[in-house]
């Protein structure tokens, strides 16, 4: 798949840009090499400082897994995740419409939320949470800081009921921040914003157990190839959207990513897919 191969090239260029390649012997010694110097290894800093690289690496792995394995109805539930990554998060992380502070705050909130969730049962994650919160607190608003301070105390005293309540609030904060930032970014012209919105609306009904949609999904009379078509279409638009934003991000850093006429051919292919989709739904 040309989209995936180009995404892999983009990942390599991000690796070079962020200098994320490290020797195993250095990591085992608790050191990382940055800008000609060896500095103490801090796992939370590696992730937050190289978030753009780690994000694309995970996106590529997920993309590859979804491509393989043939037709599977349950992939239609899993693609919601890659759609969220490829149509929302990538548009924020690599955006030229947002300030570095806005993007860093978004990354910080996501990571604090994940560390908080894992930290209740994993002391190492609690330590990373506390370190990251201390170092990134200046990026947060007053209300956001209060929420994460409450979680900091909760992780110390191990209050399970309070932890559940705070995790719920943090997840809402992540969703709110994501939606607010997405609204500030520009959807590439080859996509229609209303189609993307409808795309997520349909997913929402499906994963929340809408009986009619589930009956249609598992029905024996569903059009042939619809599952494969939906997966292919999702991978195409998420992959291309991510590529567009990563390409722009790299170019602003002085790094060129060759894509040839990939975007033009995507536009043509998407029109053909739309026609075919209409034909099988009749």
Q: What is the pLDDT of residue 26?
A: 47
Beta carbons within 8 Å of 234's beta carbon, 6+ residues apart: 66, 79, 82, 83
For the stretch 176-230, pLDDT in tens is: 999 999 999 988 888 866 666 666 655 554 555 566 555 666 666 666 666 677 7
Which neighbouring-strand residues pair with 33?
38
Q: What is the largest CA-CA distance in the chain?
A: 64
What pLDDT, in 10s, does the model give residues 1-51? 899 999 999 999 998 887 655 554 544 555 455 554 444 445 556 678 888
Domain extents for the chain? Answer: 1-43+51-97+186-282, 98-184
List CB contacts of 235: < 8 A, sequence separation 6 or more: 1, 3, 63, 66, 67, 79, 82
Q: What's the pLDDT tens digit per position in 141-165? A: 999 999 999 999 999 999 999 999 9
Cβ neighbour number for residue 220 with a 10 Å cutoff = 4
Q: In whole angstroms, what is the distance from residue 185 CA to residue 69 CA?
A: 34
| Mean pLDDT score across all residues of the chain | 82
DSSP reduced 3-state for 31: strand
Per-residue pLDDT tens over the stretch 246-256:
999 999 999 99
Helices then strands (H, E): number in the chain?
14, 2
Distance between CA 155 and CA 136 in Å, rounded? 18
């Amino acid at each position: 798949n040309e989209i995936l191969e180009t995404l892999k090239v983009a990942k390599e260029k991000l690796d070079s840009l962020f200098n994320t390649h490290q020797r195993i012997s250095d990591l085992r010694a608790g050191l990382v090499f940055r800008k000609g110097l060896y500095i103490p290894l801090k796992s939370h800093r590696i992730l937050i400082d190289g978030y753009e690289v780690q994000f694309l690496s995970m996106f590529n792995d997920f993309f590859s897994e979804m491509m393989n394995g043939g037709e599977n109805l349950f992939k239609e539930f899993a693609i919601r995740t890659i759609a969220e990554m490829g149509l929302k998060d990538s548009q924020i992380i690599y955006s030229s419409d947002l300030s570095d502070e806005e993007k860093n705050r978004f990354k910080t909130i996501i990571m604090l939320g994940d560390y908080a969730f894992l930290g209740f049962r994993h002391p190492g994650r609690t330590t990373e949470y506390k370190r990251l919160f201390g170092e990134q607190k200046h990026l947060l608003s007053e209300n956001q800081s209060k929420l994460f301070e409450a979680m900091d105390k909760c992780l110390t005293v191990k209050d399970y009921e309070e932890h559940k309540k705070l995790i719920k609030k943090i997840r809402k904060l992540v969703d709110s921040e994501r939606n607010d930032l997405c609204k500030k970014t520009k959807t590439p012209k080859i996509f229609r914003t209303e189609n993307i919105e409808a795309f997520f609306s349909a997913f929402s009904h499906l994963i929340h157990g809408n009986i009619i949609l589930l009956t249609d999904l598992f029905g024996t009379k569903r059009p042939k190839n619809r599952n494969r078509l939906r997966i292919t279409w999702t991978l195409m638009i998420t992959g291309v959207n991510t590529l567009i934003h990563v390409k722009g991000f790299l170019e602003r850093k002085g790094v060129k990513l060759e894509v040839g006429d990939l975007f033009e051919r995507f536009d043509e292919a998407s029109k053909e897919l739309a026609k075919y989709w209409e034909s099988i739904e009749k």
